[in-house]
Structure 1
Amino acid sequence: MRNELFAALLMLPLCAAAVDDFPPVTVEERHCMAEAMYYEARGEGWLGMVAVGAVIKNRVDDRRYPSTVCGVVHQGAERNDRLCAFSYYCDGLPERPGNQELWELAQLMADAVLSSGGVSVDGVGAATHYHAMYVTPWWAPALDRQGCIGNHVFYK
């Protein structure tokens, strides 16, 4: 885990351009991003977390989706039908990170993704969707597969 934290810290300057060029990140947006990265990709290391963050940013930048990180992450929760865009948010379980090291890594990666103008991750590109390899969602055949990172497949 220490190696992952070290690699993550080395990556921060690469992800963060001139921070003044981008709107300030609210505590709430940072929390929503870190929470999604943690629950969706905590077993995938820093690259998997950044890949999930890239999808969230891609959705924020796409007019078909909400224009905020929290709006994207919580999309679908208002329907109360467990069809959330990010399944952890509608699973009925409280969001309490159980692994402090991975939670801290998710917060670092959220900062890196949110403080950059855009995140380019090989295998993600302009992806707005992803899923775990062990499921096949109904929407997957209609989208263009971009690649795989860890246990996730990415689509646009």
Structure 2
Amino acid sequence: MRRLKYFLMPLAFFFMFTNTTQASSVHTVTDGDSLWSIGVDYGVSMQEIQELNGKPDTNLAIGERLQLPDSISDEELDLLARLIHSEAQGEPYAGKVAVGTVVLNRVADDRYPDTITDVIYEVVNGYYAFSPVLDGTIEEPAADESKLAAREALAFEGQGEGSIFFYNPDTATNHWNATRDETKRIGQHVFAK
């Protein structure tokens, strides 16, 4: 029994520290990196990278090792990209990023569900919050530009003007959104809070 105890204790320490190491992601800064580019590459908030690493500013040093916040699952990233694709086809790239930001702002807002999936599939007053869920276009694969816009929206998370709504005034059938405080217009979409 004593021999088994001495064998199991180091084994337990090995697994304990191995799991901890695998659970946290680290990025080593290279020439040309910025918090923004790292955030887009990993699909994480640059503001969270800064906070997690106790950085008072956005300056980076080559060779610096940055802890990265947890990223969303591949499934949620794909769902966000598909929503962007179906909601913002034909819109400028900035509008695609802004659509993704609306979803993330809702996740952060106590009045809405806590996950990307739950926000996208939310039913409000008997209607889906996003029309692509109703018409099925949410199932279409996202174009590369929409995938990049999703990662960029994640990097942008926690910044901006707090938009939690968007609509196209030319095609909207419900004009309730027009009663909200407009934050910006991009392409055919009006963003509001």
TM-score (norm. length: structure 1): 0.74
Residue 47 of structure 1: aligned partner: 94
Residue 139 of structure 1: aligned partner: 176
Question: Per the alignment, do residues 45 and 152 of structure 1 end up closer, same or farther by CA in structure 2, a change over 3 Å counting?
Answer: same
How far residue 24 of structure 1 moved from its aligned partner, in angstroms, is 1.9
How far residue 35 of structure 1 moved from its aligned partner, in angstroms, is 0.8
Residue deviations 1:46-79 (CA, integer Å, cap 9, x gap): 21110101111110100100111111111118x8
How far residue 96 of structure 1 moved from its aligned partner, in angstroms, is 2.1
Partners in 1 of 2:150 and 2:83 — Cα distance?
Answer: 9
Partners in 2 of 1:20 and 1:46 — Cα distance?
Answer: 29
How far residue 94 of structure 1 moved from its aligned partner, in angstroms, is 6.7
Residue 59 of structure 1: aligned partner: 106
List aligned pairs for 1:92-103, cutoff 5 A. Answer: 92=136, 95-97=139-141, 103=143
Segments of 4+ moved more than 4 angstroms: none
Whether the 8 Å CA contact 2:92–2:186 is kept in 1: the answer is: no
Q: Which runs of 5+ in 2 are unaligned?
A: 1-35, 41-45, 50-65
- Between Structure 1 and Structure 2, which shows a larger proportion of strand residues? 2
Whether the 8 Å CA contact 1:38–1:49 is kept in 2: the answer is: yes
Aligned match of 1:76 in 91, 107, 123? Answer: 123
Partners in 2 of 1:94 and 1:41 — Cα distance?
Answer: 12
Whether the 8 Å CA contact 1:55–1:128 is kept in 2: the answer is: yes
Q: Which one-letter code corresponds to 2:37 in the other structure? A: P
The Cα RMSD (Å) is 2.8
Number of residue pairs aligned between Structure 1 and Structure 2:
136
How far residue 127 of structure 1 moved from its aligned partner, in angstroms, is 1.1
Residue 151 of structure 1: aligned partner: 188
List aligned pairs for 1:27-38, cutoff 5 A. Answer: 27-38=74-85
Whether 1:86 aligns to 2:130 is: yes
Q: Highest relative contact order (Cα 8 Å, sep 6+), 1 or 2?
A: 1
Question: Per the alignment, do residues 29 and 43 of structure 1 end up closer, same or farther by CA in structure 2, a change over 3 Å counting?
Answer: same
Residue 16 of structure 2: aligned partner: none
Q: Which one-letter code corresponds to 1:88 in the other structure? A: P
Q: Which runs of 5+ in 1 are unaligned?
A: 1-11
Whether the 8 Å CA contact 1:25–1:115 is kept in 2: the answer is: no
Residue 13 of structure 1 aligns to a residue whose secondary structure is helix
Residue deviations 1:85-143 (CA, integer Å, cap 9, x gap): 1101111457224xxxx6111111212222454343xxxx1111110121252422431
